């Protein structure tokens, strides 16, 4: 089992039993999502911005307009913290105090570097695949002008940790006798009914990418 090194920066201090440092767990959490929250510092002020990502090994790719504040700040090679959170359920205990959430989160530390050429093209494909698998091959790919208007950053993971909670609530011994319902209410990000573009030409069927994510094939 390959692990990221535990340091003062990435060590899970609170409830350390929920902490994980192995690649498999951390990459699994990254691969289960496509939206992260990116933290960086500008003039001593922290900023946290939601954005899409893709992964290739220990590299995480972000993209955006060449004009974006986040991308131009990060492109300077400053430290970045990138967090991915999946909420899996509300943990409903008998006491207010023991309420909790089931979740999987990964916190990544590194610095960002702008990438170009083949790596940039592959990164855009990976980000697209992480959002909706198969979509890239269904659409018109980027032309030279669009590539120029897009910046891609690579964050190589220096340190990382995951924190996971699963399972039912844990109540105080004496509270189990209380006539209060306890358990877990699972939560999941679900796709709804696709809404065709009002300008869609007639006779174009729902694509495989959408049918697949909706469990229709």
Cβ atoms within 10 A of the Cβ of 190, count? 7
Is 122 an interacting residue with respect to a second copy (CB under 8 A)? no
Is 73 an interacting residue with respect to a second copy (CB under 8 A)? no
Q: Which CA distances in Å does 94 have to 10, 38, 133, 187?
A: 33, 36, 41, 19
Looking at the Cβ atoms of 1 and 185, the one nearer to a second copy is 185
Spatial distance between the Cα atoms of 79 and 44, rounded to a whole number of angstroms: 12
Instruction: Give Cβ neighbours of residue 53 (< 8 Å, ≥ 6 apart).
Output: 30, 34, 35, 36, 60, 61, 62, 82, 84, 127, 130
Is 1 an interacting residue with respect to a second copy (CB under 8 A)? no
> Binding mask 175-204 vs a second copy (x if CB under 8 A, - otherwise)?
xxxxxxxxxxxxxxxxxxxxxxxxxxx--x
Stretch that binds a second copy, among 18-26, 53-61, 85-93, 112-120 (CB under 8 A): 85-93
Q: Which residue has the tokens 């492109």?
A: 75
Is 49 an interacting residue with respect to a second copy (CB under 8 A)? yes
Looking at the Cβ atoms of 1 and 195, the one nearer to a second copy is 195
> Binding mask 128-167 vs a second copy (x if CB under 8 A, - otherwise)?
x--xx--xx-xxxxxx--x--xx-----------------
């Amino acid at each position: 089992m390959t692990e990221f090194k535990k340091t003062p920066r990435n060590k899970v201090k609170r409830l350390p039993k929920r902490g994980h440092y192995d690649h498999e767990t951390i990459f699994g959490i990254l691969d289960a999502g496509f939206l992260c929250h990116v933290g960086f510092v500008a003039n001593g002020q922290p900023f946290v911005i939601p954005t899409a990502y893709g992964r290739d090994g220990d590299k995480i790719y972000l993209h955006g307009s060449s004009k974006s504040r986040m991308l131009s700040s990060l492109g300077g090679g400053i430290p970045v913290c990138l967090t991915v959170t999946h909420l899996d359920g509300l943990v409903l205990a008998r006491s207010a105090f023991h309420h909790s959430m089931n979740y999987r989160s990964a916190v990544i530390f590194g610095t960002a570097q702008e990438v170009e050429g083949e790596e940039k093209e592959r990164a855009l494909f990976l980000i697209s695949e992480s959002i909706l698998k198969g979509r890239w091959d269904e659409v018109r790919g980027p032309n030279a002008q669009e590539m120029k208007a897009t910046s891609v950053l690579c964050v190589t993971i220096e340190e990382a940790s995951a924190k996971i909670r699963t399972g039912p609530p844990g109540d105080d011994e004496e509270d189990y006798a209380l006539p209060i319902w306890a358990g877990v209410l699972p939560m999941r990000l679900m796709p709804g009914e696709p809404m065709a573009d009002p300008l869609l030409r007639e006779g174009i069927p729902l694509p495989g990418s959408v049918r697949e994510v909706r469990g229709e094939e």
